[in-house]
């Protein structure tokens, strides 16, 4: 039998708590506090792995850089292709399409294609070889690292990445889309297909 607190002269009134302020959410049973996102997966080197969003933004930045350089360098070729039909205006007026015009168009297309391949190689292999970063990766604080800890990043690794990511994607339809999206379901290192081909990961690093 519990004693009546009113009959205990030493017992004072229960403590009074100040009223809750505006916006107060009462604690409910089972409430564990605000949601905290899970930590990023860790790669073999101990660095957190890059997220899909970070890698996609870095890819867009690099694409704009390569596209802009290609556009500037190929401007003389494009200008020449615009004025080329004027040289054969008489034949075109007679509904005759000169064979040499068609040949020149093929040559110009091949030249722009080769220019893009060479520029992307220099950028994604030779330039990236210095620090494991392109401009886009540096902006997003990302770096290409070998999957095996302690192994240096060499030209052979970056060439394998380049061959699958760019050269093969030029000839295989939708390969570039599948390659990029592969990271979303790959475990445990969130690799793309060109990462798997080169045995690399892309990590978030401190600049």
Cβ count near 179 (within 10 Å): 21
Cβ count near 143 (within 10 Å): 22
In angstroms, the CA 1 to CA 13 distance is 21
pLDDT per residue rounded down to tens, the chain (207 residues): 445 545 555 555 555 555 555 555 555 565 556 766 667 788 888 889 999 999 999 999 999 999 999 888 888 877 777 666 665 555 555 555 556 666 777 888 888 889 889 999 999 999 999 999 999 999 999 999 999 988 999 999 999 999 999 999 989 999 999 999 999 999 999 999 999 999 999 999 876
Q: Please name the residues in contact with 50: beta carbons below 8 A apart, sequence gap of 6 or more.
A: 140, 142, 190, 202, 203, 204
Q: What is the pLDDT of residue 122?
A: 96
| 190 dihedral zone (left: phi>0; alpha: psi -120 to 50; beta) | left
Q: What is the pLDDT of residue 16?
A: 55
Q: Are 191 and 179 in contact (CB under 8 A)?
A: no
């Amino acid at each position: 039998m519990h004693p009546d607190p009113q009959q205990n002269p030493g017992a004072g009134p229960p403590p009074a708590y100040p009223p809750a302020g505006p916006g107060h959410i009462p604690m409910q049973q089972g409430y564990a506090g605000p949601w905290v996102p899970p930590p990023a997966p860790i790669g073999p080197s101990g660095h957190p792995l890059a997220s899909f969003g970070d890698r996609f933004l870095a890819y867009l930045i690099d694409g704009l850089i390569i596209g802009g350089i290609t556009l500037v360098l190929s401007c003389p070729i494009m200008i020449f292709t615009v004025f080329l039909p004027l040289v054969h205006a008489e034949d075109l007026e007679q509904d005759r399409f000169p064979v040499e015009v068609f040949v020149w168009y093929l040559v110009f297309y091949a030249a722009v294609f080769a220019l893009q391949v060479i520029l992307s190689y220099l950028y994604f292999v030779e330039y990236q070889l210095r620090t494991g970063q392109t401009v886009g990766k540096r902006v997003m604080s990302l770096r290409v690292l070998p999957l095996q800890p302690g192994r240096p990043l060499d030209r052979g690794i970056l060439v394998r990445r380049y061959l699958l990511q760019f050269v093969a994607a030029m000839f295989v339809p939708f390969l570039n889309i599948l390659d990029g999206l592969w990271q979303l379901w790959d475990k445990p290192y969130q690799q793309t297909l060109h990462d798997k081909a080169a045995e690399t990961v892309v990590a978030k690093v401190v600049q």
